[in-house]
Each structure stands twice: as C-alpha cells, then as structure tokens.
Structure 1
Amino acid sequence: MRAVLDIGTNSVRLLVAKVAKDTIEPYIQQIRISRIGEDIDGSGELSAIGIWRTVKALGELRAFIPPSIPVDVLATSAVRDGSNRQEFVDLIEKEFGWKIHVLSGLREAELSFRGAVDSLCSLNLSAPFTVIDIGGGSTEIYTGLDGDSLLGGGSVQLGAVRMLERHITTHPVICKDRNALEKEIEEILAPLIKSNLDFGPKTVIAVGGTATSLAAIAQELTVFDLKRIVGYSLSLERLREIYINLGKLDLDERSLIAGMQKGREDIIVAGAAILVKAMELLNISQLKTSVGDLLYGWLAFYVDEG
C-alpha cells in the first residue's frame, strides 16, 4: 500500500491505494480545499493564509494515512510558480517529515496522461488520446498513443483560480467579465490546441476537479459516485448549457446545485469556460471524463519501476 498527496493550486488531495503489478486499487480518497495559489497571479508568491490553510489540510489528511506506509507528496502549478516555494517546501518537511516533489509542467502532464489513459483502458478507446487537465493555476493538454508515450502538447498558465482572479468580479457573472474571460482563454489555448490537432487525436479525456465536478453536475449526482464519473461522456451541448446556467447564479445558488463540490462554487464558471473553449477548438462534440490523473499516474510509474 502507498499514499500520494497532491498540493494543487485550489486543493490538496490524498490517494491511498493498494499497488500491485498492473493494478492500482483505491483504498482511501480525500480532498480539502486549501487554495494555496490564492493571489499568486498578482503577487508571485504563496500567501501566508494559503500556506496556513494547506498545512491545516495536510494535517487533516495525514490522519487518514495508515501507519508505516510510504508517502509521496507532489506539488504543481502554484508551488512551482511561487517565489517563496523553497520556504514552503522546507516548512512541510519540518512539520511532517515529507519531502515535496515539485513537478514541472511536462512531468505533471506525463503523470496526468498516464493516469487518464490507464483508467479507461477497459473501454477499448481509440488512440491517439488527448488528455486535458484543467487545474487551479495551469492547464495541460497532451496527445499520445498510450500511457507511456507522449507525442506532444504543452502546459499553460491557464487555470480556474487564475482566471477567476483575473476576470470575474461578481457572481452572477456579468457580460463584460464573461467576454474578457473567454477572449483570454482562446488566446492562450489556441496555439496549444493546434499543436495537439497535428497528431490527429481520436479520443479526448478530461481530468481534474473542473472536469469531474462538471460531470457530476451534468448527471445531477447528489453523492459523488466514482463509477459514474470514470468514462462518462460529456457533450459540448450539455457543457455549454451548464456553463451558461452557472454564470447566472450567485455563490449560494450554485452551492445548491446537485454535483457541486463545496468550495468550488466561485471557480467553476472559469473552469467550465476553459473546458468549453478547449472542446470548441478541438472541434469535438463530446469527451470522456475520469478521476484517473496525476495521482494515479504517479503510482503507475512507481509500479513500472518495481
């Protein structure tokens, strides 16, 4: 058994799994909204309050980890970008005894790609695969033939938290903010999408909190059901409908929507806007969603290495 933690821009996630050859069996999965990346787009550093929330979240999640099993801690966009990241890394090692692996955008993409493709292998989907991983601070879009082989793609500083802070000033979202949001998303995504289209993707998979939340909302799930998220076909038509409707609601109203994850009410519109634009630029009418992402990808590479 092995535990892996991911310190993302918006949340800290824990996966404890039984790991064997060709098999990753989830045992414990937990998430805490900590938003360590709050205001990093403006300040360039990890905020004191964001660090405090993250330390608190890690303390809570530690209680779920069985004693005496290996623990790996990953960090992505916000920690990667923070000018004071080493102070944070040192703090976590001192507080918990854990060494943080700060992932590059490429490594994050490799892990997410592996986790996504492996998680849907039973569906016998057609390659090449394009995996979209929308996070709080960055988005990775890569295309490959299988879980081990990337053809190309990239990582851009385009995430749900980052776009919220740049463009959305009120909830409900006003027309001016929506237009500015969509304009910047297209400007950033268009070159990245074009580079992926050159490889002729046949199956598109979306992972990350934005994608899984939207899949839950699309199905009106009152309780998060892993089996109904993995392999779910989310249509562009349904996604656009959700995006428009969520933008018309205030935060309290969004919190009442079936499938809405607590703590994601303010960033879900920005995240949905990114996924809508990605699908439009890829010229696809539907995609698959999955919970298989960098946590699963990390464990898969661990299995490979024995």
Structure 2
Amino acid sequence: MIAAIDVGSNTVRMLLGEVDDGKVVPHRYEREITRLKGGQTGEGLAPEAMERTFSALKRFAVIASEEGAARLRAVGTEALRTASNGAEFVDMVRREADLEIEIIDGLEEAGLSAAGVLSALDPVPKNAIIIDIGGGSTEIILVCQGNVAFRHSCPLGVVQIAEMGSNRNWQAFITDQTSRIGQLIQQKQIADIVKDSETLFVGNAGTVTTLAAIDLEMATYDWRRVNNYVMSREMIEEIMLNLQRLSTVERENIMGIEKGRGDLIIPGISVLQAMMKMMDKESLVISDFGLLEGVLLQLA
C-alpha cells in the first residue's frame, strides 16, 4: 500500500492504493474542502484556513498509518507555492503532524497530473489538451504522444473568482485571462494541434467531476463511472442554466454537488465554457484521475 496527499487551494485529498501493471488501483480515498487559499491576503494564508487544512492533514496522516502505507508523498501546489507564509505552514505540519509536504513547481505538477489523467483514459489518446480547474489556478497541459509539450498556469482559480464578489467582475476576469491564453497558444504555434478535432479535450478536478456527478445523478460518488465520461457543450450549458437559477444552499442540495462547492461551481463551469469556446471544442472527456494518481505511479 502506498499513499499520496495533494494539498490544494480548495481541497485536501488523499489516495491510498497500489499500482498494478502501470494502472492505479485505488483502495481508499479521503477528501475535505478546507479552502486553504480562502481569505488569503498580502499577509499570506489566513490563520483559519491554515487551521482547517492542518486538521485535515493530521487526520489523513493517522489514516495512512492505520492503513499501513509503506510510502507516502504529500505535495503542495499553487496555494503553498505563492503564499508568503507557505513555508511556515509546511514547517508547522512537519512538527505537529509528523508529515512532510513537498511544495512542487508547476512543471512537476503538470507532469504528474498528465500521467495520472492519461492512466484513466481508455483508449489513451495520441494528443490531449488537459484542463485542471483548481481552487487557486487553472492548469493547461498539452500532451503529445505521452509527453508534456506545453503547460501554462493561469490565475483562474475558483476560490479566487468566487471571492471577487460581483458576477460582472469575475466574468470580465475570465474573458481577459482566456484571451491571454489564446494569444499565448498562437505565439507558441500550437493552436493548430490544440484545436485539432483529433486532440482530445480532457478535464479533471472538482468542477468537471461534479458536472459528471450531477449528470449521472450520483447519490454516492463513484470514480469508475466518472472516468471517460463524455459531456457535450450543450449538456454543460443546460446544467449551468439550471444552477444559475438556484441559491448556493439550493445547489448543494442537488445530487452530485458536495457541501462547500455551491458557490464555486458556477465560476468553475464559466472557466470551462470559456476554454471550450476558445479551443473550438464541442465535447469534454472527464478524468477523475490526476495529480494524486500521478504521484502513486511515481512512487510505485
């Protein structure tokens, strides 16, 4: 048994499992929305956010020990990379929870995420553009024949967007950032391959897996049903229109939406729709696997 922990901007997740013939075999999955990036200021991560996240990590460390994990790797991403007190938080977790967190750079995160995503797809595409909409940022990864050909991180994180307040403000922000990404893709001379109908458009992380769970009316989340699930732009638009009519509390009463995601799902879908439009994609293939599974593959 091996274990991976992802300390994200919105959610802390842990996967315990094995790797068999290059495939991840999950044994136990734990997750908790802690909003580590929530309320972040120039002073760094908010004390309340750090306390919530520390509590989850301490619990996860105990579970990993009880499950007999032979090896464990915990990684921190955008929230810890950019926070002025990120290293301070990592030190506290090391001292008080006996858990070592590695703050990984964007290039390593992209490689691990891509490996995890691709391990879930059947068949594995020759080329894929992967969109990972996180709490603090959105990662865009172009994979060609199994290798990361391009990666870009932009500040389209759902927690950050949700805390902007006005719908008009964050819609303008999404439009501006998406336009910048489009220009970058043109500059890198990869627009043709990105927009090619044979290049699979793949999404992972909470926004897209929640879309699948809503469409499948999941009372209990099942990653097996989510992996390789396909949704059209029309299906996504219909769900979006239905959610926009509801309050945050009402959204969280819908089958498939977990508590703590009610105010994040609309910004997340907005980012996804903007990306699909900019890249001329008519459908989305969803992968539940990502960074955690990539870490397990590396540990095996």
Runs of 4+ aligned structure 1 residues displaced above 4 Å come to: 192-196
Structure 2 equivalent of residue 124 of structure 1: 123
Q: What is the Cα deviation at residue 46 of structure 1?
A: 0.9
- SS of 2:35's partner is coil
Q: Does 1:183 align with 2:180?
A: no
Mapping of residues 72-83 of structure 1, within 5 Å: 72-83=73-84
Range with bigger deviation, 1-10 or 196-205: 196-205
Mapping of residues 227-266 of structure 1, within 5 Å: 227-266=224-263
Q: Is the 8 A contact 2:17 2:25 kept in 1?
A: yes
**Per-residue deviation, residues 41-78 of structure 1 (Å, max 9, x unmatched):** x4361110010000111122233221352221111111
- SS of 1:64's partner is helix
Structure 2 equivalent of residue 64 of structure 1: 63
Alpha carbons of structure 1 residues 73 and 81: separation in structure 2 relative to 1, 3 Å = same
Q: Does 1:199 align with 2:193?
A: yes
Unaligned runs of 5+ in 2: none
Q: Does 1:19 align with 2:19?
A: yes
Alpha carbons of structure 1 residues 188 and 213: separation in structure 2 relative to 1, 3 Å = farther
In structure 2, distance between residues paired with 1:192 and 1:79: 26
The amino acid of 2:230's aligned partner reads S
Structure 1 equivalent of residue 2 of structure 2: 2
Mapping of residues 212-231 of structure 1, within 5 Å: 212-231=209-228
Mapping of residues 120-159 of structure 1, within 5 Å: 120=121, 123-147=122-146, 149-159=147-157
Q: Is the 8 A contact 1:89 1:99 kept in 2?
A: yes
Structure 2 equivalent of residue 45 of structure 1: 44
In structure 1, distance between residues paired with 2:110 and 2:183: 17
**Per-residue deviation, residues 81-124 of structure 1 (Å, max 9, x unmatched):** 1001111110011012222111212221111111111111xx22
Q: What is the Cα deviation at residue 258 of structure 1?
A: 1.4
In structure 2, distance between residues paired with 1:229 and 1:68: 26
TM (normalized to structure 2)? 0.91
TM (normalized to structure 1)? 0.89
In structure 1, distance between residues paired with 2:203 and 2:93: 30
Q: Provide the aligned C-alpha RMSD in A.
A: 1.9
Structure 1 equivalent of residue 288 of structure 2: 291
Range with bigger deviation, 183-192 or 18-27: 183-192
Q: What is the Cα deviation at residue 156 of structure 1?
A: 1.2
In structure 2, distance between residues paired with 1:270 and 1:208: 14
Unaligned runs of 5+ in 1: none
Structure 1 equivalent of residue 162 of structure 2: 164
- SS of 2:13's partner is strand
Q: Matched residues, percent identical?
A: 31
Q: Is the 8 A contact 2:154 2:177 kept in 1?
A: no
**Higher-RCO chain (CA-CA 8 Å, sequence separation at least 6):** 2
The amino acid of 1:55's aligned partner reads F
Q: Is the 8 A contact 1:116 1:293 kept in 2?
A: yes
Range with bigger deviation, 86-95 or 220-229: 220-229
The amino acid of 2:110's aligned partner reads A
Q: Is the 8 A contact 2:161 2:170 kept in 1?
A: no
In structure 2, distance between residues paired with 1:300 and 1:23: 8
Q: What is the Cα deviation at residue 178 of structure 1?
A: 6.2
Range with bigger deviation, 239-248 or 28-37: 239-248
